[in-house]
A and B are shown apart, each in its own frame.
Chain A
């Protein structure tokens, strides 16, 4: 199982480097699709099927289609940069090093004495059984009942973002020269 995770992580790194080096944007979008599939599989191996579900649906499905429709409005090629890549490389290296340093303090994966398993205390789970009024599981109860307003706000943000994207991508009917023949 660990070997599969390592192999997937190696493939992820290879894909990421390829995306960064790619000048053909069409192929780069294709590789971001591969990247989402791989990271979703990795999350699945880490036992987080709900996150993997979202990543597969949003990252591999909707994001690919949205980026392609953006590409239909812009060009297919990326201009070669003339600036030196040294400063961005330095920033990325320092940020990556800081993130890795941050993980050193984290508790071991699956450790039963993790803070996340002790706080909020287990009575949270027991109480939600009574509070959830027939909802099938605790995650749904927390998302839809305890955090109802929070979820409503999130959904509003997502709806607004969706409307904005559709407005940007929409073809203007009053300018027929913008329409392309099918």
Chain B
């Protein structure tokens, strides 16, 4: 029962990922692409959690946390670049 549910969930997540990727490829404006990328990152985190529960291991959840942090940092960097055309006055480290 649980396995069926997890399989169905992973198929749904993978479908959503595919749709988000298609939107990011087609996306006429910058913000379509940014939204699609953000959604893709979130779905990756969810997929890792589902895989974690499917394989019965606990240590992948830490990675899911790291992914969401990385997704956030990447998104902030992309949006700052879109807004300013550069990273402003600060040095990038």
In the complex, chain A residues whose CB is within 8 Å of the CB of B74:
33, 60-61, 64-65
B30 — nearest CB in chain A belongs to which residue? A26
A180 within 8 A of B: yes
B4 within 8 A of A: no
Instruction: Point out which of B18, B48, B54 has the most chain A C-beta atoms below 10 A from its C-beta.
Output: B48
Q: What separation, in Å, do the CA atoms of A164 and B30 have in the docked complex?
A: 31
Report how many residues on chain A are interfacial, defined by Cβ distance under 8 Å. Answer: 42
In the complex, chain B residues whose CB is within 8 Å of the CB of A72:
81, 85-87
Report the minimum CB–CB distance from B84 to chain A (whole Å). Answer: 7
B14 and A180 form a contact (CB under 8 A): no
B44 and A37 form a contact (CB under 8 A): yes
B63 and A44 form a contact (CB under 8 A): yes
In the complex, chain A residues whose CB is within 8 Å of the CB of B24:
27, 30-31, 34
Report the minimum CB–CB distance from A26 to chain B (whole Å). Answer: 7
A64 and B91 form a contact (CB under 8 A): no
Cross-chain contact of B44 among A18, A38, A166, A180 (Cβ < 8 A): A38
Stretch at the interface among A48-56, A94-102, A133-141, A152-160: A48-56
A37 — nearest CB in chain B belongs to which residue? B44
Binding site for A on B (CB under 8 A): 10-11, 14, 17-18, 21, 24-25, 30, 33-34, 37, 40-41, 44, 47-48, 51, 54-55, 59-60, 63, 66-67, 70-71, 73-74, 77-78, 81-82, 84-89, 91-93
